[in-house]
Amino acid sequence: MDFKFDVNKLFVKELNKITHTLIPTDFTSNPQELRDVQMKVSTILDDIGKASAIAQNLNQPVTSTSKLQDTDHIVYLLVDSSGNRGLGSILGFLKTGWKNLFLFDEAGLYHKLRTKCVLDFYVHESKQRMGLGKILYQHMLEEEHLQPEKLAIDRPSNKFLQFLQKHYGVHGIITQNNKFVVFKGFFDNVTRPTNEVQSMRVGEFVFSGSSQKHSNSTDEHLLPRKHAISYPATSRSSYGRYAAAKPTCSVANIIHDVPTLGLINEPTGSKN
């Protein structure tokens, strides 16, 4: 993507990191110029976010200046310094961030985790199939010291899934109800606290993770195991941009015998 201003004055490297400050991490200049730099970086973020949304048939951008501010999200920009007649062009970007998610593991148990996610990924249409996506993704993994299978992906397209399998060998999609996708190996070495209710088996309201035994309990806050309520497991075959909404897991609903899995269309996958 080309811009009317000199992109090369903002970004001195091929790969650049942008945070909520809107100041490139390696940028050095007169303090009086910082406001102008932030305005130009803001223009870039808004324009590439719109281009990504159009490419993915989204109603609104996932990436923008307003969605980056007041967050810990990071945008990695790939720059071609020779593009746009020497002014520099933006070839693509990748956005990551931390999210608190409820995720199914391979055994069908819910886990409440804070995990690093890939939130947006885009290479300009004129520059695809040139290895640029691999350059961006590999840089992000090295910069954040991550393994590919340890990332949760927000609503990936089929093209993105094929990219991950081809270049990183990730396999064994563990489908979710909250529009995120994780892969085999994601839950390796994941442990649950012993003093909190952190997981629930699909189709059966039996809680695990409590340090106390409730087999004969009448505690109204947790159902005893012998009184577990069973419902047919909900389908988790959908993933990607049009996956099912996240089911609610309200203990109050469970106490009052209200089945909750798969019944409430609650929006998830915040685009912050």
Per-residue pLDDT of the chain (272 residues; tens, 9 = 90+): 999 999 999 998 999 999 999 998 877 777 778 899 999 999 999 999 999 999 999 999 999 999 999 899 999 999 999 999 999 999 999 999 999 999 999 988 989 999 999 999 999 999 999 999 999 999 999 999 999 999 999 999 999 999 999 999 999 999 898 889 999 999 998 765 443 444 444 333 333 333 333 333 333 333 333 333 333 333 344 444 434 444 444 444 444 444 444 433 334 344 44
Give a yes or no: residue 258 inside a domain. Answer: no
CATH code of the domain covering residue 142: 3.40.630.30
Give a yes or no: residue 126 inside a domain. Answer: yes
Q: Which residues constitute the domain of residue 153?
A: 7-97+114-164
Give a yes or no: residue 31 inside a domain. Answer: yes
Q: Is 234 exposed, middle or buried (0-12, 13-18, 19+ CB in 10 A)?
A: middle
Give a yes or no: residue 260 inside a domain. Answer: no
Give a yes or no: residue 198 inside a domain. Answer: no
0.85 surpassed by pTM: no
Domain count, the chain: 1
Give a yes or no: residue 239 inside a domain. Answer: no
Asked whether the beta carbons of 111 and 187 are under 8 A apart, the reply is yes
- pLDDT for res 30: 76
Give a yes or no: residue 149 inside a domain. Answer: yes
Spatial distance between the Cα atoms of 140 and 119, rounded to a whole number of angstroms: 12
Spatial distance between the Cα atoms of 76 and 30, rounded to a whole number of angstroms: 24
